[in-house]
Amino acid sequence: MNKDTIVGVLGAGSMGSGIAQIAATQEHQVVLVDLNTEALAKAQASLEKILARLEEKERISSAEEVLSRIIFSEKITDFSNCGIVIEAIIENIEIKQKVFSNLEDIVSESCVLASNTSSLSIASIACSCKISERVIGIHFFNPAPLMPLVEIIPAVQTSEATKNDARALIDGWKKVTVLTKDTPGFIVNRVARPFYGEALRIYEEGIADFATIDWAMTELGGFRMGPFTLMDYIGNDVNYTVTETVFAAFYYDQRYKPSFTQKRHSEAGWYGRKSGRGYYNYAEGTEQPNPNKDEVLGKQILDRILMMLINEAVDALFLNIATKEDIDLAMTKGVNYPKGLLSWADEIGLDKVLNHLEEMFNEYGEDRYRPSPLLRRMVRDGKKFF
């Protein structure tokens, strides 16, 4: 694939229109298809606005030129000349399978078919295709034009050629690609679970309130956003559903157990910013709660969440989900963590990380706090990750 490759994007929602913007900016002809006329018109209007702003800021030379490369269409048959089609439609396995099967009747035999799914298995999407070795996961982060990370996810069926071609294409778009196994949550959405889950657990135990936990993670930990502020951004409905999906996909491993607090917030319609209320109240004029800036308490909160995040990263390495370099890159480039978790573990000292986890495991007696076997092994052998 090269600049002459026509890129198809299916679904003109937030992700699809972002991916179309990237490809057109990278000088590809793009075909952006959505079955919903309104969604298509909205995507076109929003791309016109974004590109005009980028031209003003001199980030691109001509908005008109970039836009002229995008064909907005309601017909999936317009993909016939594409070298790759990236699907970004609704997160539903039956619908995706049907769409992939239909796509195969339209595109050439050499066309790569990619899915931007966040939580579905690529193998299950690929199995709906006759040429399943051409199917791959290409997972962008939101907003796609701004977030540098893209996870490349070959399914068991995916050929080496498809994997290499897809990765080279996205690398050429100046993205940071990481290679990950086709397992639930891939790298980022797996390793990041404790950022939400452990924060919710700390709140449920009555150790601290939302504002204090957010303060500890941002001020003491250097994270760009606290867990509750972030969940309010993502939407508690969306974040809760992802947690439930990941929990089930991991055969109910207790480490990924969802939280009643988040479930109730979601049931109450307290989704976060989009509904005007989540963990915080966003109604105009509402005074936001003040955190308790007790450094000892703050450090206790940060350490507990951080140890759980590190344990998750170590376990992903233990199970060969990705390389240690890619695991650290994924968290810094996909979700803006201040440091890669494995490098952070080296810095803290692996023995200290292990001790902390063992203390929690002993205190709670819950499987959730079990240290990764790799962590034990590395401490025993006196090794570091980097």
Ligand X SMILES: NC(=O)c1ccc[n+]([C@@H]2O[C@H](COP(=O)([O-])OP(=O)(O)OC[C@H]3O[C@@H](n4cnc5c(N)ncnc54)[C@H](O)[C@@H]3O)[C@@H](O)[C@H]2O)c1
Question: Looking at 85-93, 247-255, 344-352, 364-372, which segment touches ligand X (CB under 6 A)?
Answer: 85-93
* CB-CB contact of 162 with 136 (8 Å): yes
88 interacts with ligand X by CB under 6 A: yes
Q: If you write DSSP's letter for every residue of 211-266 in order, what string do you get?
A: HHHHHIIIIIT--SS-HHHHHHHH-HHHHHHHHHHHHHHTTT-GGG---HHHHHHH
15 interacts with ligand X by CB under 6 A: yes
Q: Least CB distance from residue 136 to ligand X, whole Å?
A: 14
54 backbone φψ class: left, alpha, beta (φ>0; ψ -120 to 50)? alpha
12 interacts with ligand X by CB under 6 A: yes
84-87 sheet: strands from edge to edge: 70-73, 30-33, 7-10, 84-87, 112-115, 135-140, 149-154, 176-179
Tokens standing for residue 371: 């240290």
- Nearest CA to 19 among 103, 106, 97, 84? 84
Q: Which is nearer to ligand X, 6 or 378 (CB)?
A: 6
Question: Looking at 115-123, 303-311, 359-367, 373-381, which segment touches ligand X (CB under 6 A)?
Answer: 115-123
Q: Least CB distance from residue 119 to ligand X, whole Å?
A: 6
Return d(Cα 13, Cα 109) in angstroms, integer. Answer: 27
Q: Least CB distance from residue 366 to ligand X, whole Å?
A: 30
Q: Which is nearer to ligand X, 34 or 198 (CB)?
A: 34
Q: Are strands 149-154 and 135-140 parallel, antiparallel or unpaired?
A: antiparallel
Q: Which is nearer to ligand X, 250 or 318 (CB)?
A: 250
Q: Which is nearer to ligand X, 162 or 245 (CB)?
A: 245
Give the number of other CB atoms < 10 A from CB of residue 343: 17
Q: Least CB distance from residue 83 to ligand X, whole Å?
A: 20
Q: Which is nearer to ligand X, 36 or 254 (CB)?
A: 36
Q: Which is nearer to ligand X, 140 or 369 (CB)?
A: 140
Mark 29-68 with x for binding to ligand X (rule: CB under 6 A) and - for no binding.
-----xxx--x-----------------------------
Tokens standing for residue 334: 């996909």
278 interacts with ligand X by CB under 6 A: no
Q: Which of 29, 117, 162, 236 forms a contact with ligand X (CB under 6 A)?
A: 117
In the set 139, 236, 312, 372, the catalytic residue is 139
Is 151 among the residues known to form the active site? yes
Tokens standing for residue 336: 């803006």
11 interacts with ligand X by CB under 6 A: yes
3-state secondary structure of 150: strand
Give the number of other CB atoms < 10 A from CB of residue 97: 17
In the set 17, 115, 118, 128, the catalytic residue is 118
Residue type, 176: V
95 interacts with ligand X by CB under 6 A: yes
Residues at the contact surface with ligand X, assessed by CB under 6 A: 10-16, 34-36, 39, 88-91, 95, 99, 116-118, 140-142
Active site residues per annotation: 118, 139, 151, 189
